Structure 1
Amino acid sequence: MTAKTTLLDMTSPAASPALDICARHGNKPDALLEILHDLQEAVGHVPEAALPVIARALNLSRAEVYGVATFYHDYHLKPQGQHVIRICRAEACQSMGGRELQAMVEKFLNIRVGGTTSDRKVTLEATYCLGLCATAPAIMVDGKLVGRVDAAKLKPILAEVTK
């Protein structure tokens, strides 16, 4: 790490909250998951600029911190939309029309899975089992599970999250 890179990392807007959160956790490397969670809670996502700051505070490599932040699907390196729709892509949901459901949502929102609408209202994510196999296909909207989703059930959901 060069002095120039360190200076840029430590002066980024993400540095202050990241350093404060690391300090609250005693700058302990074994608190990395909690630190990432708290940072996401504080600023709405885990800014990539905060990763080297966290690495330095915890005496970890950037690769270690980045690896953890990108391994767990609940951490987001970019801001999420106001609403988050997760579409189940597990086998039961796929066999009951999950792919078609995903295509409908992508077309309506004009984004692909992993994207956020340009107005930042909706983020679309894939997940690999919501535990509603008996009521497939299933989605999760802002943390609420919805089963037996078809076009008729989907339209009012999409209308609500995009208004």
Structure 2
Amino acid sequence: MAAYPAWNEAQAQAIIDELASLEGAMLPILHALQEAFGCVEPQAVPLIAEALNVSRADVHGTISFYHDFRSAPPPQRVVKLCRAEACQALGCETLVGDLARDHGIVVDAHGPHDRAAVETVYCLGNCALGPSALVDGELLGRVDADRIASLCGAQA
């Protein structure tokens, strides 16, 4: 995963100004800021609110509603683990328990991460080969706790 530049208010304001006139501009702005900085910094919330003439609570609510938006920089690696029905039927919930018990990896733990994080997603379209995960754009099937832990750089 690429390193992201530090927060820059002038650059953020330029992104916001460029997209503010779009219909339904909030999501494109949030996506663009996250693409530029790796997250939607809390300092961006009042800038977006002012540009779109909405409350800060509206902006914060949108950020917190969508699981893909981050308010802190991402770890070096994000493993997206499918927990939809098909993967549940093929053992993903057991895998989640094994990750915590055997490797100390808590799925969807929020906070500062250095190396890796495992996040829940619902359906990667690889249902027949579940449990499935998406890592660095690569779709993996029939993953187990040891494989996820190794992808996260954890020791067994």
Q: 1:135 aligns with which of 129, 132, 144?
A: 129
3-state SS of 1:112 partner: coil
Task: Assess if the C-alpha contact under 8 Å between 1:81 and 1:120 holds in 2.
Answer: yes
Opposite residue 91 of structure 1, the aligned amino acid is E
Deviates more, 1:24-33 or 1:34-43: 24-33
Q: Residue in 2 aligned with 1:59?
A: 53
Kept in 2, the 8 Å contact 1:132–1:147? The answer is yes
Give the % identical residues.
41
Q: Could you tell me how far apart the structure 2 residues matched to 1:88 and 1:149 are?
A: 10
How much has 1:96 moved relative to structure 2? 1.1
4+ aligned runs moved over 6 Å, structure 1: none
Query: Is 1:23–2:17 an aligned residue pair?
Result: yes
Partner of 1:93: 87
- 2:125 counterpart letter in structure 1: G
Alpha-carbon RMSD across the aligned residues, in angstroms, is 2.5
Q: Given the alignment of the two structures, is residue 77 of structure 1 paired with residue 68 of structure 2, yes or no? A: no
In structure 2, relative to structure 1, the CA distance for the partners of 1:55 and 1:117 (3 Å cut) is closer
Determine the structure 2 residue equivalent to 1:10.
Answer: none
Shift in alpha-carbon separation, 1:69–1:117, aligned structure 2, 3 A: closer
One-letter amino acid of the structure 2 residue matched with residue 47 of structure 1: E
Inter-CA distance 19–102: structure 2 relative to 1 (3 Å threshold): same
What is the alpha-carbon distance in structure 1 between the residues aligned to residue 61 and residue 94 of structure 2? 32
Is 1:145 matched up with 2:139? yes
Say whether the 8 Å CA contact 1:69–1:75 is kept in structure 2: yes
Higher helix share goes to which structure? 1
| Structure-2 residue corresponding to 1:41 | 35
- Count how many residue pairs are aligned between Structure 1 and Structure 2: 148
- CA distance in 2 between counterparts of 1:119 and 1:74 reads 16
Any unmatched runs of 5+ in structure 1? 1-12
- TM-score scaled by structure 2? 0.80
